[in-house]
């Protein structure tokens, strides 16, 4: 027969484990959450399969995304399709037969996708953004982007658009192989989850992205 002391010890252990589990889940839901890089769109900064920790807490308490931050977000619905749906019919660099094919998508679809993406913030609300040879020209000046790869595809040269108020222009560092705001438009603040603050796997790439 189990003694009352053992029962108390068992009960205390259950409470401790339950409390630890609660805080672990709360931290993941509201503060820091791990993500796995699913595609080569952020190379050379982040490789496929690399794992990052994302700070969700700062954005939940009102902190806004900053320029050049690597950010996890929900893209506009239709971003996951092969044609990268834009909120304006016939617009965006994936529509090569359109007269507007050499301009980024100027308006996203009205709802967020259920998937999460990771890209870099390259345009802030109100910025005038164009792309030349894969590099961002922000408000008429070439941005300093040592993280960006070379680019020679059709999407490497795009005419300017203005980022709407309360929205952000995001691009992958692998400019020649990234589906991003060029294709499906800017991302509203409410769809941005948090910023990548550290990489923790593989061990050889531990650090700050």
Tokens matching residue 87: 């909120």
Query: Structural domain tally of the chain?
Result: 2
3-state secondary structure of 137: strand
Do 101 and 24 belong to one domain?
no
pLDDT band at 5 (very low <50, low <70, confident <90, very high): low
Supply the pTM of this predicted model: 0.81
pLDDT tens, residue by residue, 94-119: 644 444 457 899 899 999 999 999 99
Do 196 and 105 lie in one domain? The reply is: yes
Neighbouring residues of 36: CB distance < 8 A, sequence distance ≥ 6: 49, 50, 51
Are 73 and 65 within 8 A, CB to CB?
A: no
Query: Helix/strand/coil (H, E, C) string of 72-86?
Result: EECCECCCCCCCCCC
In this structure, are 86 and 20 located in the same domain? no
pLDDT tens per residue, range 125-140: 999 999 999 999 999 9
Residue 101, domain extent = 31-205
Q: Are residues 4 and 39 in the same domain?
A: no
Q: Is the pLDDT of residue 21 over 50?
A: no
**Is 101 found in the same domain as 75?**
yes
pLDDT per residue as tens digits for the range 191-201:
999 999 888 88
Same domain, 23 and 118: no
Pairing of strands 158-162, 141-142: unpaired
> What's 207's DSSP letter?
B
For residues 134, 68, 145, 100, the Cα torsion angle rounded to the nearest 10 degrees is 20
Give yes or no: residues 16 and 93 share one domain: no
With a cut of 90, say whether residue 163 has pLDDT above it: yes
The CATH number given to whatever domain includes residue 42 is 2.10.109.10
14 and 82 fall within a common domain: no
């Amino acid at each position: 027969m189990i003694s009352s002391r053992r029962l108390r010890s068992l009960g205390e252990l259950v409470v401790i484990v339950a409390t630890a589990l609660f805080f672990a889940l709360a931290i993941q839901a509201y503060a820091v959450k791990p993500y796995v890089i699913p595609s080569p769109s952020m190379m050379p900064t982040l490789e496929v399969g690399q794992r990052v920790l994302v700070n969700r807490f700062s954005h939940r308490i009102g902190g806004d995304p900053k320029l050049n931050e690597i950010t996890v977000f929900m893209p506009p619905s239709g971003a996951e399709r092969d044609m990268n749906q834009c909120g304006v019919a016939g617009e965006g660099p994936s529509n090569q037969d359109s007269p507007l094919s050499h301009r980024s998508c100027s308006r996203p679809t009205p709802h967020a996708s259920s998937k999460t993406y990771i890209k870099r913030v390259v345009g802030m609300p109100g910025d005038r953004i164009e792309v030349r040879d894969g590099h961002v020209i922000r408000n008429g000046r070439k941005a300093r982007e040592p993280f960006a790869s070379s680019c020679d595809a059709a999407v490497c040269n795009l005419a300017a658009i203005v980022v709407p108020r309360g929205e952000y222009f995001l691009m992958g560092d692998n400019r020649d192989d990234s589906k991003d705001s060029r294709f499906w438009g800017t991302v509203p603040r409410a769809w941005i989850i948090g910023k990548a603050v550290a990489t923790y796997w593989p061990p050889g790439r531990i650090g700050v992205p």
